Structure 1
Amino acid sequence: MQDEEREILKIFEETGAILKGHFQLSSGLHSDTYIQCAKVLQYPQYCQLLSQKLVRKLNHPDDIDVVVSPAMGGIIIGFGVAAEIGCRAVFAERQEGIMTLRRGFQITPGEKALVVEDVITTGGSVKEVLELCRERGAEIKGVACLIDRSTEDTGLKTTFLLKMKVEAYPPPNCPLCAAGIQIDKPGSRGLY
């Protein structure tokens, strides 16, 4: 682990953003670790610092017109990244189970879009937002996140600040369920 990664991990640990227990993730998978980025991003100085670091890792950030994030987790960091780039920030949210743009948000054909999420596990929400952008004719410039905790190849080329290896289990194969440990559902898909 490099010094910058250690610094970022320390921020997450000091703010209590890395939780241990038995969790149902937004993807439906179960894990003994949950990363609650909101615990870090509640501090504007950390949001600004992490946004700056993420933008520095992007190729050609000045070529981005709009940052698009999935609600809820990606909203704050998406706004922070857009502020650093100097472009618009919008977010997509589920309506009747389908990721959509609401609140008057628009993506116009030819706009160059960066999709920003807080944590990627399966990449499901990001893939839905990418599809939404493509349907509106956006040119996808990339995907970025604070933490990539994917355990398998999501097929997404992703810029991230920290890669964490955290086990995730389908519910029928979850050793925490088998041990009878009570589950917590802190995700953003109406689970908690």
Structure 2
Amino acid sequence: MTATDPTLAADIDACCRLTGEFTLRSGQQASEYFDKYLFESDPLLLGRVAREMAQLLPAGTELLGGLELGGIPLATTLSNLVGLPALFVRKQAKTYGTCKLAEGADVAGRRVTLVEDVITTGGAVRDATRALRDAGAVVEVVVCAIDRSPEGENPLSDVGLEVRPVLTKVQLDAARALNAG
């Protein structure tokens, strides 16, 4: 699916693409990096991304599960926009207080759509999916701002998760080429 905001890819690319030497969460080395905090800290860009995400939410979503850390501002903004409760999913359950992995409403028996910023290999999403399913949640879809995985591949097919991106790396590359030309 293509974003309905015609300049979003170009604006995100111009704001967030950094070049250099970067180590990704997966351990992979990359010569470019999409610093999602640069758009997530900009209220106008964050709102534009959330409006696109709203169109990607599957019917029947009961909770929006924002993954620590980058998915949390997206899930909060999206929650405010569509009126669904947000859930804040930690990388690890707290070892104090409530000792919860997911902060917010109980997930047991509820349909949770995960919200993530950037997906490359899907490691954090995979971990969250397994943990939420173990807690009784129904998790079938992740909506993300940017899918960096190779075109046509679903890095989360092994856990039966559908990835619905606002933008793909291919779209961001095309926007960059168009602006450079």
- One fold, TM greater than 0.5? yes
Distance 1:94 1:87 in 2: 22
Aligned 8 A contact 2:62 2:85 in 1: yes
Name the amino acid aligned to 2:44.
Answer: Q
Judged with a 3 Å threshold, the aligned counterparts in structure 2 of structure 1 residues 94 and 45 are, in CA distance, closer, same or farther, namely same
Aligned 8 A contact 1:5 1:162 in 2: no
Displacement of 1:59 in angstroms is 3.1
- With 6-15 and 33-42 compared, the bigger mean Cα shift is at 6-15
Query: What is the TM-score normalised by the length of structure 2?
Result: 0.77
Q: 2:68 aligns with which of 68, 71, 76?
A: 71
Q: Secondary structure at the match of 1:94?
A: coil
Task: Specify the alignment match of 1:162 in structure 2.
Answer: 167
Distance 1:147 1:104 in 2: 24
Task: Specify the alignment match of 2:176 in structure 1.
Answer: none
Displacement of 1:46 in angstroms is 1.5
Judged with a 3 Å threshold, the aligned counterparts in structure 2 of structure 1 residues 19 and 106 are, in CA distance, closer, same or farther, namely same
Distance 2:169 2:40 in 1: 18
Residue-by-residue CA offset, 1:128-156 (whole Å, 9 max, x unaligned): 11112111111224111011001353113
Q: For CA contacts below 8 A with separation 6 or more, give which structure has more relative contact order.
A: 1
Displacement of 1:58 in angstroms is 2.8
Gaps of 5+ in 2: 94-98, 171-181
Judged with a 3 Å threshold, the aligned counterparts in structure 2 of structure 1 residues 130 and 20 are, in CA distance, closer, same or farther, namely same
Number of equivalent positions? 161
The alignment-based identity, stated in percent, is 25
Aligned 8 A contact 1:107 1:133 in 2: no
Name the Cα RMSD after superposition.
2.7
Gaps of 5+ in 1: 166-192
Displacement of 1:13 in angstroms is 3.0
